[in-house]
Amino acid sequence: RIERQTGDDLLPHPDGEKMTRCFLQELVSILLAYITKTFDRSSKVLDFHHPHQLKEGLEGFSLELPDQPENLEQLLVDCRDTLKYGVKTGHPRFLNQLSTGLDIIGLAGEWLTSTANTNMFTFEIAPVFILMEETILRKMQEKVGWAEEGDGMFCPGGSISNLYSVLLARYDMYPEVKTGGMSDLPRLALFTSEHSHYSVKKAAHILGIGTKNVFVVKCDARGKMIPVELESSILRAKNAGCVPFYVNATAGTTVYGAFDPFLHIADICSKHGLWMHVDAAWGGGLLLSERHCGKLRGIERASSVTWNPHKIMGVPQQCSALLVKKKGILLECNQLGAQYLFQPDKPYDVSYDTGDKSIQCGRHVDVFKLWLMWKAKGSEGFGSQINRCLENAEHLFNLLSEREDFELVFKSKPEHSNVCFWYIPPSLRVIAPEAERDRRLHEVAPKIKAKMMETGSVMIGYQPTTEKVNFFRCVFSNPATTKEDVDFLLDEIVRLGCG
Ligand code: ABU
């Protein structure tokens, strides 16, 4: 019957319960089939089609929107096709991004969240989720090493969490900016390393500080900020008439996975009275691993921290926390007190109406899936999961160290799960590493990546840096990935590179 019914026949239609069950059960079957395939290594990571092919329509799959309702059967076909032409980011051989994996408990959390379909701005409509957010933020602050309870919020991604940190740092130094804007302020300067995430520059642009007032600090060969370079950048900014106010340090850079020297940076920030932010979007999860948490030593001295559980902790997208040491500053900085939403005379403690801390109005519930996963694994379970990801990276590093047909971008052991390397095809092995070889090597990774996408067997990313031609970056955040998958990756690069 489903082929004769439409969305109007589902609840809240008075006779809609049976059809609703039938439709959702069919949908769950589709999702379960997809989940099973995701973990099946004989299934492809992706079935790649160019944008124009998808737009033209494939085997009846059309992106066009009809004037008349489609029947429920067609909607289920649309759901199946949407997954079919997408990318299985939970596949053990999807190594392309920092966020990978398909955690079943996290997925259950996301389903429940969508079913509850509420909004994080007031306790009134999200009482349980608001308290869960408080519990989780406190737990994360403890892991960072803050003795006192601070502040925080889940944000729509690490870039926005970083944006908040710049906003708060500026407000902390110049609270008058909230009413007077930038015209009342001197020329501000902020500092971030050349390997840090581009969102720091974007924040400077969005907040009217300007990207040219972002001082980019030099890194060592491993991608870590050099403290003496930071100090001289601060002095240079002061000499140029700027007022330094903020330093971003990174725990786990996007490409190299490097950890900045937080203790040194904290000393410099204290000396110059600067807000220290740690962008631990990628590296924050390591705080849950006894084996690796020492890499973040000094993070406890930060004024704010970005930590994305949707990365190495494997929480479904998206789940990014901003943690702030100074309690109350988020509200002070952002509060506008919309009377229709944040009435002070509600029948409960309205400090739990956290919505006015935010720069948004409506805020998605990102916390529940993380809370449920934390219950399911415990902190120790997360720690072991993260350890396994880093073991995969070490395995890949060890293999590459012994191969003649690959070259590591840096020879030291990975600190996070990023491994950066070149594949050197036979024709380039006989050429001296000079300009011509570099020119040709630059083309190797994109060509192999294109073949990976065509065959759908595996996916990893590549990029150049200012001094280095295109190289592969392999990252491990999927607990389903094994050492055999790592072996497969190298065999596949060689196979595709020779073809
Ligand atoms: N900073 C967002 C993550 C980028 C990546 O997955 O490579």
Structural domains in the chain plus CATH codes:
2-88 (no CATH), 118-374 (3.40.640.10)
Q: Is the pLDDT of residue 58 over 90?
A: no
Is ligand 1 within 6 A of the CB of residue 457? no
Write down the pTM of the prediction.
0.98
pLDDT tens for 130-140 read 999 999 999 99
User: How high is the pLDDT of residue 460?
Assistant: 98
Instruction: Report the C-alpha gap between 67 and 151 in whole angstroms.
Output: 48
Q: Which of 443, 434, 444 is nearest to 405 (CA)?
A: 444
How far away, in angstroms, is 397 Cα from ligand 1 center? 21
Q: Which ligand 1 atom is at minimum distance from the Cα of 158?
A: 1
Is ligand 1 within 6 A of the CB of residue 474? no
Q: Which ligand 1 atom is at minimum distance from the Cα of 157?
A: 2
- The predicted model gives 201-214 an average pLDDT of 98
- Strands 151-155 and 188-193: what pairing? unpaired
Instruction: Report the C-alpha gap between 328 and 292 in whole angstroms.
Output: 31
Most ligand 1 atoms within 8 A of CB, residue of 87, 99, 389, 472 to mutate: 99
How far away, in angstroms, is 455 Cα from ligand 1 center? 23
pLDDT tens for 131-173 read 999 999 999 999 999 999 999 999 999 999 999 999 999 999 9
Question: CA 139, 143, 148, 153 torsion: positive or negative?
Answer: negative
Is ligand 1 within 6 A of the CB of residue 310? no
Q: Is the pLDDT of residue 300 over 90?
A: yes
How far away, in angstroms, is 335 Cα from ligand 1 center? 31
How far away, in angstroms, is 207 Cα from ligand 1 center? 22
- The predicted model gives 18-38 an average pLDDT of 98
User: How high is the pLDDT of residue 3?
Assistant: 84
Is ligand 1 within 6 A of the CB of residue 91? no
Token digits of residue 173 = 């130094």
- pLDDT above 70 covers what percent of the chain? 100
Q: Is the pLDDT of residue 499 over 70?
A: no
User: How high is the pLDDT of residue 2?
Assistant: 84
How far away, in angstroms, is 197 Cα from ligand 1 center? 9
How far away, in angstroms, is 158 Cα from ligand 1 center? 9
pLDDT tens for 2-27 read 889 999 999 999 999 999 999 999 99
Most ligand 1 atoms within 8 A of CB, residue of 89, 97, 250, 256 to mutate: 97
Mean model confidence pLDDT for the chain: 97
Q: Is the pLDDT of residue 254 over 90?
A: yes
Q: Is the ipTM of this complex over 0.90?
A: yes
How far away, in angstroms, is 45 Cα from ligand 1 center? 18
Residue whose CA is closest, atom 1 of ligand 1?
254
How far away, in angstroms, is 98 Cα from ligand 1 center? 5
How far away, in angstroms, is 253 Cα from ligand 1 center? 10
Is ligand 1 within 6 A of the CB of residue 308? no
